[in-house]
Amino acid sequence: MDTALLPQLQVFLVVARLRSFSGAARELGVTRSAVSQAVRQLEEQLRVVLLTRTTRSVALTDVGRKLVETAGPGLAQALAAVKELSAQPGELVGRLRLSVPRAAVPHVIEPVLPTFRARHPRVEVEVVLEEQLVDIVAGGYDAGVRLSEIIERDMVQVRLTEPFRFVIVGTPEYLARLGVPQRPEDLLRHECITFRSPTTGALYAWELERGRKTWRLPVRGGVVTNDGLLCASMARLGLGLAYAFEPMVMEDLRSGRLQRVLEPYAPTVPGYFLYFPSRAQRTPALRAFVDIARESLVQRR
């Protein structure tokens, strides 16, 4: 590719990430027509169609998706390298973009970000909250945070938290009114605050285990949400039982606002991990974030 087209390529990658010409124009600080012209020039030079456009949406063609996957990481590294040349020795300059589920923020982002920003004030950190597993490369991210069991196996994974349990909780008042479930099957007769997957649209079946036996219970109730934190909040209000990871509700359990039920059946998961495509693609900012995250994990043990 002609190096003169690098500015157009950069514009295209922003449009591809945001799926929006207007959004790209706002982020880049230029007009929408300038964005459109840059993408058109790139398509003309390459003699391909990179984006399909309608009045309501923008989508990548197969060729456009391939260009994002192959050129995106390399351009990000090149831009980061150029920025670093203007930095003082040992100073990091650039941007770190992370995809994070909302429930992980208090346990991953809040313990790490203050220290990271204090040490590296010239690195801009963008935290995008989203529940579904995302394509790190196509989405223009440096890394993501997810539970380890849903991360693709070809990704590098760095532990951010200790393993934890998923527990079922309810208020003392709710349990006094409707009874304490004694067996997993009892949950099918309870008011359960259910979670709808933002990826599949299906209601999540509560998973329990004891010894070698496992259960997947299609619980139901009058409240459905796609946010794990809201499930716990609704349980605090006495609207039903919630399935939550234990650190999220620990203060409520200590204070007695919520109580665990069926605790012998609570499953343990490995915890939250940072994931990214390969060690070779780690930027200096991402390496620094990983180091500080590891420090934070050691301090919390």
pLDDT in tens, 101-142: 998 999 899 999 999 999 999 999 999 998 888 888 778 889
Sign of the alpha-carbon torsion through 246, 251, 254, 259: negative
Protein fold of 1-71: Arc Repressor Mutant, subunit A (1.10.10)
Q: Do the beta carbons of residue 279 and residue 154 sit within 8 Å?
A: no
User: What's the whole-number mean pLDDT along residues 67-87?
Assistant: 62
At 283, the pLDDT band (50, 70, 90 cuts) reads confident
Whose CA is closest to 67, among 133, 1, 23? 1
Closest alpha carbon to 141 in 150, 132, 230 = 132
CA 63, CA 51: separation in Å to the nearest integer? 9
pLDDT of residue 207: 96
Q: Which fold has domain 164-269?
A: D-Maltodextrin-Binding Protein; domain 2 (3.40.190)
Q: Which helix (H) or strand (E) holds 158?
A: strand 156-159
> DSSP class of residue 202?
P
Domain ranges in the chain are 1-71, 164-269
pLDDT above 80: residue 278: no
- If you average pLDDT over every residue of the chain, what do you get? 87
